[in-house]
Amino acid sequence: MKIVFLDAYAANPGDIDWAPWQQLAGPDGEPIKVEIHDRTAPGETLARACDAEILLTNKVVINAELMEAMPRLKYIGVLATGYNVVDTDYAGSHGIIVTNIPAYSTASVAQMAMAHLLHIALHVGPHSQSVKEGRWQASRDFCFWDYPLIELSGMNFGIVGLGNTGMATARIAQSMGMKVTAWSSKDEQTLQALGIEKAPSLDDLFRIADVLSLNCPLTPQTHHLVCDSRLRLMKPTAILINTGRGPLINEQDLADALNEGRLYAAGLDVLEQEPPRNGSPLITARNCYITPHIAWATLQARKRLMSIALQNVEAYLGGKPQNVVSR
């Protein structure tokens, strides 16, 4: 039996022990060969995976054509929560089990959402740098600031999506004294018990939010949910945070809103194309702060990811697969 990791580097660049994987054995105790690739280009996938029974992928796309050419393939483990890189319909109809890693990065992603928000509100890094450059020493006053300083308490924190990460983000916002309003499939009574107000509509949420955080999955319905018409509903003082998926936002529409002063700022951990090989209008947009899709990547979260991935494979080998997303 053979296990192939196609793009292991992002999840484990070398700071997590591979030994538990090397010690895996098949159902009858037969040895398992584990082949680890840091990265796999599209043209290399078939050659590396053609004789694998178990395939692990993070962002390498596994489509129907590839699966058809892999007669031994029985299991695909996605090293992420989202699994759109795999054609799960084809897999399910051909007896190939696909699993994902749910809820491993909840705390880390919520933390990044608030890190972006706090950066925009207070600009700690740039102010610290100005002190290192000697500006405080030369100041005529006991203090100075280069950006508006924003108190978040009392503001309306709007949130789109209240899954695990959305709820964790909402709780942090509440702890900072913000009023949370959500667009969610959860009913009004459930939200009230959590101290959260249910928005009458998505457009209403865009209208009332002082801060709007995107925490929903990417689906055909949520693709480009942030667009010109909705951005024009927002307050010019509002802040947009996206730690969900890049394509939730029409990037040109957001760049235009920021550059024209119709929106105060945006903090983004994701873009529509990653890496942005073809650039993005948001990279140079006014008051737009971008991190390179690292909200999930704390050491603690990646250790959980690798641990759950191993448990998923062990469950498959034991005949009781878990976290299955193919049907």
The single residue of 116, 123, 230, 293 carrying the catalytic annotation is 293
**What per-residue string of b and e applies to 209-231 under the rule 16 or more CB within 10 Å gives b?**
bbbbbbbbebeeebeebbeeebb
Question: At which residue do the structure tokens 């949520």 appear?
Answer: 222
Could you give the residue ranges of the DSSP H alpha helices within the chain? 19-22, 45-49, 64-68, 88-93, 106-122, 124-132, 164-175, 188-193, 202-208, 228-231, 251-259, 299-317
The single residue of 116, 123, 245, 302 carrying the catalytic annotation is 245
Structure tokens at 118: 């706090």
Question: Is 245 among the catalytic positions?
Answer: yes
**Cα separation of 241 and 3, whole Å?**
38
**Cα separation of 305 and 93, whole Å?**
27
The single residue of 65, 68, 260, 274 carrying the catalytic annotation is 274
**Cα separation of 102 and 217, whole Å?**
12
Backbone dihedral region for residue 7 (phi beyond 0: left; psi -120 to 50: alpha; all else: beta): beta
The alpha carbons of the chain give a radius of gyration, in whole angstroms, of: 22
φ and ψ at residue 152, rounded to 5 degrees = -85, -25
Question: Is 293 among the catalytic positions?
Answer: yes
8 A C-beta contact, residue 253 and residue 122: no
Q: Which is it for the CA torsion 14, 19, 22, 27, positive or negative?
A: negative
Active-site annotation, residues: 245, 274, 293
